A and B are shown apart, each in its own frame.
Chain A
Amino acid sequence: MIRLSIPLRQVLSRLSLPVLIAAAFGAMLLGKADALLIERARMALADLLSPVWAVAQEPVGAVRDLVRDAGQLWEMRGENARLREENDRLHRWQATALALEAENSMLRRQLAWIPDPAPNFFTSRVVADGGGTYARAVLLATASQTPARKGQVALDERGFVGRVTEVGSRSARVLLATDINSRIPVTLENSRARAIMVGNNAARPRLQHWPEGQVPREGDRVVTSAEAGAFPSGLPVGVVRWTESGAPEVELFARLDRLDIVRLFDFGLSGILPPEAVARPEPRQRR
Chain B
Amino acid sequence: MKPPVRGRIQPPTGLLRRVDAIMRGAFPTMATLVLMIAGAVPVGAPGLVMALCLPCVFFWTVFRPAAMPPPAVFGLGVAQDLLAHAPFASGVLVLLAAHGAALRLRGFVARQGFGTVWMIYCGVAAGAAALAWALQGLLDWRLPPTSPGLHQAAISIGIYPCLAWLLSRAHRALAESEA
Bound Cα distance from A23 to B73, whole angstroms: 12
Bound Cα distance from A27 to B92, whole angstroms: 9
Determine which residue in B88, B100, B135 has the highest number of CB atoms from chain A within 10 A of its CB, and name it: B88
Q: Is B107 an interface position by the 8 A CB rule?
A: no
Bound Cα distance from A16 to B103, whole angstroms: 13
Number of B positions contacting A (CB below 8 A): 30
**DSSP majority for the B interface?**
helix
Cβ contact within 8 Å between A28 and B87: yes
- Quote the shortest CB–CB distance from B77 to chain A (angstroms): 7
Cβ contact within 8 Å between B92 and A17: no
Bound Cα distance from A53 to B83, whole angstroms: 12
Q: Is B137 an interface position by the 8 A CB rule?
A: no
Cβ contact within 8 Å between A28 and B135: yes
Query: Contacts of B103 on A, CB cut-off 8 Å?
Result: 17
Cβ contact within 8 Å between A31 and B88: yes
Q: Which of B41, B83, B90 meets A45, CB within 8 Å? A: B83
- Binary contact track B68-97/A, C-beta < 8 Å → 1, others 0: 011101100111001101011110110011
Residue of chain B at shortest CB distance from A42: B82
Count A-B contacts at CB 8 Å. Answer: 69
Q: Is A32 an interface position by the 8 A CB rule?
A: yes
- Binary contact track B45-85/A, C-beta < 8 Å → 1, others 0: 00000000000000000000000011101100111001101
Cβ contact within 8 Å between A24 and B92: yes
Bound Cα distance from A57 to B78, whole angstroms: 24
Among A190-235, those with CB < 8 Å from B are: none
Cβ contact within 8 Å between B40 and A17: no
Among B111-148, those with CB < 8 Å from A are: 135, 139
Q: Is B109 an interface position by the 8 A CB rule?
A: no
On whether A20 and B90 interact (CB within 8 A), knowing A49-B37, A53-B40, A56-B38, the answer reads no
Residue of chain B at shortest CB distance from A64: B43
- Quote the shortest CB–CB distance from B84 to chain A (angstroms): 10
Bound Cα distance from A32 to B136, whole angstroms: 11
Bound Cα distance from A20 to B96, whole angstroms: 8
Cβ contact within 8 Å between A23 and B43: no
Bound Cα distance from A157 to B38, whole angstroms: 59
Bound Cα distance from A60 to B42, whole angstroms: 9
Q: Which of B83, B87, B100 meets A17, CB within 8 Å? A: B100
Bound Cα distance from A16 to B96, whole angstroms: 11
Q: Is A279 an interface position by the 8 A CB rule?
A: no
Number of A positions contacting B (CB below 8 A): 24
Residue of chain B at shortest CB distance from A44: B82
Q: Is B99 an interface position by the 8 A CB rule?
A: yes
Bound Cα distance from A17 to B101, whole angstroms: 11
Bound Cα distance from A13 to B68, whole angstroms: 12
Cβ contact within 8 Å between B83 and A24: no
Q: Is A41 an interface position by the 8 A CB rule?
A: yes
Bound Cα distance from A25 to B88, whole angstroms: 10
On whether A60 and B89 interact (CB within 8 A), knowing A17-B99, A20-B74, A28-B139, the answer reads no
Residue of chain A at shortest CB distance from B44: A64
Cβ contact within 8 Å between A23 and B38: no
Q: Can you list 24 contacts pairing A with B, beta carbon distance less than 8 Å?
A: A13-B69, A16-B69, A17-B96, A17-B103, A20-B70, A20-B71, A20-B96, A21-B93, A24-B77, A24-B93, A25-B93, A27-B78, A27-B88, A27-B92, A28-B89, A28-B139, A30-B88, A32-B87, A42-B82, A42-B85, A45-B79, A45-B83, A57-B42, A60-B41
Interfacial residues, chain A to chain B (CB-CB below 8 A): 13, 16-17, 20-21, 23-25, 27-28, 30-32, 38, 41-42, 45, 49, 52-53, 56-57, 60, 64
Interfacial residues, chain B to chain A (CB-CB below 8 A): 37-38, 40-43, 69-71, 73-74, 77-79, 82-83, 85, 87-90, 92-93, 96-97, 99-100, 103, 135, 139
A-B residue pairs, 3 tightest by C-beta: A31-B88, A27-B89, A28-B89
Beyond contacts A20-B71, A52-B37: 8 other A-B pairs, Cβ-Cβ < 8 A, are A20-B73, A20-B74, A24-B92, A24-B93, A28-B89, A28-B90, A28-B93, A53-B42
